Structure 1
Amino acid sequence: MDNQLQSISRIFTERLYRIPDYQRGYAWTEKQLKDFWNDIIQLENDKNHYVGVLTLEKVPFENFDKWDDDKWIIKSKSFEPYYIVDGQQRLTTTIILIQAITEIISRKETLNYSTSDEIRKRYIFDSKDGGISRSYIFGYERDNPSYEFLKTKIFLENSGPSYLKEETIYTHNLLFAKDFFKEKLKELNKSEVEVVFRKITQNFLYNIYSITSDIDVFVAFETMNNRGKPLSNLELLKNRLIYISTKFEVDESEKVQLRKRVNDSWKAVYHYLGRNKERPLKDDFFLMNHYMIYFGNEIPSDANQSWMRLRRIQTFFRDRYEENLLEHKFSLKNLNYEGDKKLTINDVNNYIESLQKSVEIWFNVYNPTFTKDYSDEEKLLLDKLYRIGMQHFAPLLLICYLKKPHKSTRIKLLIAIERLSFIFMLSEFRILPSFFEFNKYTIQVAKGDLTVVDLEKKINEYIEEKINQKDFIIELRKKFGGEGFYDWAGIRYFLFEYELSIKDKSKTKRTKIDWLEYSNEKDDFITVEHIYPQTPKEDCWKNSFNIYTIKQRRILNNSLGNLLPLSRPKNSSLQNKCFQEKIDNSLNKVGFRYGSYSENEVSKLSEWNPKDILERGVRLLEFAEQRWQIPLGDYASKVQILNLEFLNP
């Protein structure tokens, strides 16, 4: 440990920094960036700020001897190359901020008596005699997809023709950080920017810790945390597998090849997890579900599948998967076992191959519009599963798609799963063991004990068994008889499906509701409207509804027929208006007449009273009955489910 705290300006003196392959990429998001920026702004001008420890490892000669772009600066200028073991998130953030500063000042301007070119030469890159060669002072190792991204999108440097423009969650974070800082810097005048530059280069201080050769750098990495952003299990696993690759008693070429395959697999994984920038996929959720299908064969086929047994399966695969992966499956002690338990280089290779193959399917299942391999019907069904929430069936979908069943089989399976998901959401009746049971099906499909065709049959048999139980409708009456449908977890999905059914019958077929906007209600803006308002102060409502008790009016308010999906979030102040004002507000065109298909349907009525709530509620239940093939009984039974018997004494 260097006892003297060092600033960035000292740290970036005759040194090159590289982020090694076992490190994760840039993981900071808006929360960490805001904290970093606030630390800068709130730091008093005559004070220093302790950032933390920067842990470094000297790059061995056999490694940097392969760095053709950097040999000249190491040899001629005596720059020392270092790997960053810990602190790369803070250091990367600092370099991105410095780059952003150089972009907002002109090349003729100086910042604290340095031009932008001089700043870049100090912190970004140096070149031989001002030529076209580049040695980047800070960056990733060349085979990391973030290497070229940092160079081209952050440093604004040209790239070679072989650049594949690979993007991952990490590259998205790099660009977000740069845009974040540029927006913040635009709010400052030149003198304030100079203060920011001085603070981050002179007043942000680090302890420098150099790892010596007697310390295993991989083990050290696993024990270190980054500020506010702990390593994910997927990131820890990559480091562990690279570590293990160095310990096998095989030819050196085999070790090198395995390490390369680990890096290539993780490139693919993070590429697909972050490919859709609008909704990136969670890395540990993918890892957990892949673990279930890959190691599912460890559960005996003839195991007692009681409820408690299924619960233990759930715990083993979902709650303790990271412990099993890191402490049991891929641990150093497994290299020393004999027989079947011994971990081999082929075990690691087979696992990472499966991981790489699975992540593409995982992405396509969550983002069906990105692939040409699925039919329009299949894409539509997968989109529905995404909206309803496929997390409980995600491992089942993954293993089924890995089995490559025929398209018609996949479609039948998706129809069955969507139907089952809705019934689960509708009834919430004895469903907890069911999720455990479907984990059992996942394992059976993974082992080959159950085909995808038979799985689809089992799901439909399970559905029929549930909905034909005598107390199924009784449970629905209990569920919705109290607070109604407004707080039901499935209300948005249900109303959205009804909206689509009206759209399909319309002449225009134009989509009027955006699911992402509709499903994320925030603060004072609503996406599901109470037509008869929750606080009916106007006489227009009192005349029709005040003949009922307070309890009955609350039931009417939250009844299914009184709920309406809005085409866009609308201010809650509109809720209390009279029905005619809700239909047509010509001043700003936010009325039902200008909204969704469901709003248009309601706008055809001249008034809104309890009878309309009842009739629309029954109509919606009839839609559910037909759409999901659920027997909900006759008219009287539907009125009971709606808890509106008092309207038909």
Structure 2
Amino acid sequence: MSFNSANLFTVEEVRSNFTFVVPEFQRGYAWNEEQWQALWDDVVSTAERSGSHHYGGSIMLSNAEPGGTLVELIDGQQRMTSIALMLAALGAQGFPIQFRDNEPLQTYYDYYALKRSHLGPSLKQHVSFYSRNIADAALFFSAQAQGVADEATRKMLVDVVLKRIKLFVLGIHQDFDVHVAFETINNRGKPLSTLEKLKNRLLYVLANAKDATEVVAAKAEVHRCWKQVYQSLGAGTELLEDDEFLRAHAMGWFRHERRENWLQDQLFEQSFSARKPVDSAEVLAYVHSLQVAAACWHLLHNPASLPPRVEQRLLWLKRTSSSTSKPLLLWALIRLSQQYPAVLQAPGRDGEWTAPFAKLIHQAERFSVLVLLANDRQSNVGQTDLNNAAYALAHPGERINHGNSRVVPPLDAAAALTYMSEFLAAAVYNVRDLDLIEDESAPDSEKYLDPRFKRTGEFDADAVTDAVAKRFRRRSGYYKWNLGKLLVYAWEEKLRGERGLPEKKSWEKFAWDGSVEHIYPQTPDGRWSDSILAKGKGKDRIHAAVVNSLGNLLLLSVPHNADASNAGYLNAGGTKGKRELYRAGSYSEAQVAEACNKWTVVQIAARGIAMLRHAQASWNFELVADDAPLIKWLPLLFGEHADRIRKGCTGVEITNQALAPWVKKFMAK
């Protein structure tokens, strides 16, 4: 069968006449459920139309050996791999595909598509970003096949795949530049990521170098590094987004510019343009950096392999749901790995690098909590400063530009990270006295906490108060607020302590519905009438303020049933109250049960104050001074309703004297 022109052929005709080779410049297997489902639906709908054929898409082939049956799949790897996995799931035999220089993909394909069960023990040794996708596809098609009524129907579907699905096969001449073809192909399949396109562009620009010997060696090195990159991106518990990684690396390697399509232009129009010669040494320096960066990126997203104090700091940073500091932390780890090889060779071992890196992560966490979450700001606030810091870390000796300061970080990696921690601290808050900022004659040492960084910082206590007030005006308060979630979980972790006590609720399983209970319920009944009088005519907003106040939100180890959620606080009429239910629950539940013989707005306010004080100590900020009267905290706990609640509209007046012993109780542990 000749493929020198475009023709339609059945899957059976194609697989019977040729053995496919996936060239090394191709991306790996990247189709996901959207494409798998579309392929399955095509087969099922074709089966329902008796005798009809279906167009299954196109593939592009190039002869890998003159006159032979070995052909390179220039385009169509995704489709042919999926078809083979579908056939295997339906009980038939897939067809061989050779993945050139890609042992992980080859092992997984042969195991799932060719049913070579003896390869099972080798799967763990060959995990990669793409090989895991083959396993996911195989599971998907197996699940679909199990839903087929009987064996006869499965055999009929196999017959449809082989004989009634037709492929548009385009054969290209060996002299045609397949790299150009690959880069410009657009079909029904999943679009190439920027990282995948970049590899092919680098191979293309290297192919134009004058020294043929140098070209061969350089292209081989690109293939080797790319293989390592994807192994790092796929080696953890989840597949890491390759373009997010590429962008984070680019923030340090190149100087970021605030314009649309900056990364695409930087990579494909400036640094590695197809229209101008590129120095192979420059290309290799870049891909070597990507290889190291991918290993560091893996560590950042799989912190269990790092020293415990670094792991804990990364877990807390992840809980802030912020990605703004990732480029800075990536380049911090790259910089450390250059000075301390053990960072990548033995990442779990404590070293000189551990403390400054943990400190930097903590400052990144503080930035996310105080600048973004507490101020209720957009996620890109402060991004320019963080990107400039990443660039300075990536280029030792470069000045870091921020405001009107031009300071060069130290050359030593650990010292540079310490400097960046101080820079982030100043980016959050750096003012001694706001009045002095207006007095230009005052020396910097009087105006700024750190006079190296002439800036006020992004944190604004008034903005936090405004954000809280706005949420209470909407009646939601701290409930279902990202900051509220963080504060509730931080309190649970404080009570758990660092003594190796078991975790009773993981962050990953924390969901507002089912994980958090309003101690004073949203729909209280008569059992609460002696404790809190917040329901009734004209009191709906007061009720919402009390219910959704921080101190009233309790993290549960397991959900309580609806009746228990509305129960009174104490036992009554032979029915267990909430206090009794809490005794065997989370650390937060147990503390409330042990400390509180009643539950009124005084206890709600006192617990909220304790939680906010803990937050101030953890992230080093100040909303209310520690020595201020306790009632100063009330606007942060009840919004604009604080004054009415303080004066006793819920049945009890809140005074400093009433609060003090309860705050002390909650802070005791």
TM bucket, shorter chain: 0.7 to 0.9
- Give the Cα separation in 2 of the matches to 1:573 and 1:237: 58
Shift of 1:585: 10
Q: Deviations over 1:583-624 (max 9, x none)?
A: x999xxx95444322233334445543333222211211111
**Structure 1 residues not aligned, in runs of 5+:** 62-77, 103-118, 125-136, 300-312, 336-342
The aligned counterpart of 2:382 is: 434
Query: What's 1:465 paired with?
Result: 430
Corresponding letter in the other structure for 1:418: E
Shift of 1:540: 3.2
Alignment of 1:165-314 (within 5 A): 165-188=125-148, 189-213=150-174, 215-227=176-188, 229-251=190-212, 253-277=213-237, 279-296=238-255, 313-314=257-258
Distance 1:28 1:578, change over 3 A: farther
Distance, in Å, in 2 between the alignment partners of 1:515 and 1:19 is: 42
> Aligned residue for 1:511?
503
Tell me the distance in 1 between the aligned counterparts of 2:29 and 2:181: 19
Whole-Å separation in 2 of the counterparts to 1:84 and 1:430: 45
- In structure 2, give the amino acid aligned to 1:457: E
1:407 to 349, 354, 358: 354
1:595 counterpart letter in structure 2: G
Q: Which whole-Å CA distance do the structure 2 matches of 1:628 and 1:60 have between them?
A: 64
Q: Could you tell me how far apart the structure 1 residues matched to 2:486 and 2:120 are?
A: 48
Partner residue, 1:396: 328
Structure 2 counterpart of 1:618: 609
CA RMSD of aligned residues (A): 3.3
Asked if residue 596 in structure 1 is aligned to residue 586 in structure 2, the reply is yes
CA contact (8 A) 1:495 1:565 kept: yes
1:577/1:86 Cα in 2 relative to 1: closer, same or farther (>3 Å)? farther
CA–CA distance in structure 2, aligned partners of residues 329 and 36 of structure 1: 38
**Structure with greater contact order relative to length (CA < 8 Å, sep ≥ 6):** 1
Aligned to 1:26: 29
- How many Å separate the matches in 2 of 1:161 and 1:198? 32
Secondary structure in structure 1 of the residue aligned to 2:497: helix
Q: 2:632 aligns with which of 628, 637, 644?
A: 637
Q: Which residue in 2 is equivalent to 1:557? A: 547
Alignment of 1:532 with 2:520, yes or no, is yes
The structural deviation recorded for 1:60 is: 4.1
Distance of 1:383 and 1:248 partners within structure 2: 46
Match of 1:367 among 283, 293, 302: 302
SS in 1 for 2:482: coil
Q: 2:555 touches 2:588 (CA, 8 Å); kept in 1? A: yes
1:220 counterpart letter in structure 2: A
Identify if the C-alpha distance between structure 1 residues 332 and 572 changes in structure 2 by more than 3 Å, giving closer, same or farther. Answer: farther
What amino acid is the match of 2:285? N
Rounded to whole Å, the distance in 2 between the matches of 1:192 and 1:627 is 62
What is the alpha-carbon distance in structure 2 between the residues aligned to residue 494 and residue 566 of structure 1? 14
In structure 1, the partner of 2:484 is 491
Q: Distance in 2 between matches of 1:591 and 1:36?
A: 52
Distance 1:645 1:461 in 2: 34
Structure 2: distance between partners of 1:185 and 1:641: 57
Aligned to 1:205, the other structure's residue is in SS state strand
* Separation (CA, whole Å) in 2 of partners of 1:162 and 1:617: 53
> 1:149 aligns to what?
108
Contact 1:144 1:267 in 2 (8 A): no
Deviations 1:184-231 (A, max 9, x none): 222331112112211211222211111234642222212223535211
Partner residue in 1 for 2:59: 54
Q: CA deviation at 1:323?
A: 2.6
CA spacing shift, 1:488–1:591, aligned 2, 3 Å: same
**Which string of whole-angstrom CA distances, capped at 9 and with x for unpartnered residues, describes residues 260-303 of structure 1?**
211111111111111113x321100100011111123xx7xxxx
Equivalent position of 1:132 in the other structure: none
8 A Cα contact 1:467 1:630, kept in partner? no
Write the letter of the residue equivalent to 2:355: S
Name which of structure 1's ranges 139-148 and 23-32 shifts more when overlaid on structure 2.
139-148
* 1:431/1:516 CA distance change after superposition, 3 Å: closer
What per-residue deviation string (whole Å, max 9, x for no partner) do you get for residues 436-472 of structure 1? 1221222222222323232222222333326976993
Tell me which residue corresponds to 2:12: 9
- 1:267/1:474 CA distance change after superposition, 3 Å: same
- Residues 99 and 508 from structure 1, CA distance in 2 versus in 1: closer, same or farther, beyond 3 angstroms? same
Which residue, out of 494, 504, 529, partners 1:501?
494
Verify the 8 A CA contact 1:222 1:236 in the aligned structure 2. Answer: yes
Instruction: Quote the residue 1:85 is aligned against.
Output: 74
Residues 367 and 424, structure 2, Cα contact 8 Å, conserved in 1: yes
- Structure 2 counterpart of 1:438, one-letter code: L
| Equivalent pair of 2:205/2:274 in contact (CA under 8 Å) | yes
CA distance in 1, matches of 2:202, 2:9: 34
Q: How does 1:94-133 map to 2 (within 5 A)?
A: 94-102=83-91, 120=93, 123-124=94-95
Distance 1:467 1:198 in 2: 78
Contact 2:209 2:215 in 1 (8 A): yes
Q: Is the 8 A contact 1:16 1:79 kept in 2?
A: no
Distance 2:33 2:540 in 1: 46
- In 2, are the aligned partners of 1:86 and 1:226 still within 8 Å (CA)? no
Shift of 1:559: 1.6
Quick one: structure 1 residues 187 and 266, their matched pair in 2 at CA, closer, same or farther if it must change by over 3 Å? same
**Residue 384 (structure 1) aligned to one of 310, 316, 321:** 316
Q: Look up the equivalent residue of 2:539 and give its one-letter code.
A: T
Q: 1:163–1:392: structure 2 CA closer, same or farther, 3 Å change rule?
A: closer
Tell me the distance in 1 between the aligned counterparts of 2:233 and 2:581. Answer: 40
Q: Distance in 1 between matches of 2:379 and 2:160?
A: 57
Report % sequence identity. Answer: 25
In structure 2, what is the Cα distance between the partners aligned to 1:16 and 1:326?
Answer: 34
Structure 1: which amino acid aligns with 2:645?
L
Whether contact under 8 Å (1:27, 1:229) holds in the other structure is: yes
Structure 2 residue matching 1:225: 3-state secondary structure: coil
User: Which secondary structure does the structure 2 equivalent of 1:27 belong to?
Assistant: coil
Supply the AA of the counterpart residue of 1:315: R
Equivalent pair of 2:527/2:567 in contact (CA under 8 Å):
no
Separation of aligned partners in 1, 2:16 and 2:114: 19
Q: Is the 8 A contact 1:492 1:565 kept in 2?
A: no
Q: Residue 273 of structure 2: which of 323, 326, 331 is its match? A: 331
Q: Counterparts of 1:360 and 1:572 in 2: how far apart (Å)?
A: 48
Contact in 2 for aligned 1:55/1:210 (Cα 8 Å) = yes
CA distance in 2: counterparts of 1:159 and 1:439, whole angstroms? 45
